[in-house]
Amino acid sequence: SDFNLVSAFGKASVDLVFSQAAFEHFDDVEETISQLSDVCKPGAVVIAEIDLQTHSRWIREKDPNNIYRYSERIYKKFHFRGIPNRVRPYKYKLAFERLGFTDVTVLPLKKNDLRRQREFIPNDLFKDEITQLDYLTITLYARRR
């Protein structure tokens, strides 16, 4: 609740943002990107590595998409601060574009073979191709307009 980039850095004061495995833990990704838009100077660059897979060590390699198996209702019932937010690459891209960034590029760093995984994802929110469930880790690049 006290997370505020603008009060920490000031408006239009940052040239480069580098984030490693943080975005997937933000409860309100849109608000975070909006704050980035405020603190970044025009032309500033954001480079973020985003870990999209389950964070439970004992299941991570065996079933990396485990966090997408559950309906939104059940996932919210077990919510705690910092839990992976399940935001997929296309939603990050759209949010950055809508909130003042350009040249938004998403590159997969780690991919998964989905042939055996998709059948275990009962949640229709994540079954379509746009969700790119084969992307387990991405790098997002964006430039502030």
Sheet containing strand 14-20, strands side by side: 14-20, 40-51, 135-144, 101-111
Neighbour count for residue 69 (Cβ, 10 Å): 16
What DSSP assignment string belongs to 37-95? Answer: HHHEEEEEEEEEEEE-S---TTTTTT-TTGGGSS-HHHHHHT--TT------HHHHHHH
Position 138 pLDDT exceeds 80: yes
Q: In this predicted model, what pLDDT tens digit does every residue of 104-115 receive, in sequence order?
A: 999 999 998 776
- Of 99 and 69, the structure prediction assigns the larger pLDDT to 99
- From 90, 82, 87, select the one nearest 52 (Cα to Cα): 87
Position 87 pLDDT exceeds 70: yes
Q: Provide the whole-model pTM.
A: 0.92
Position 130 pLDDT exceeds 80: yes
Position 61 pLDDT exceeds 90: no
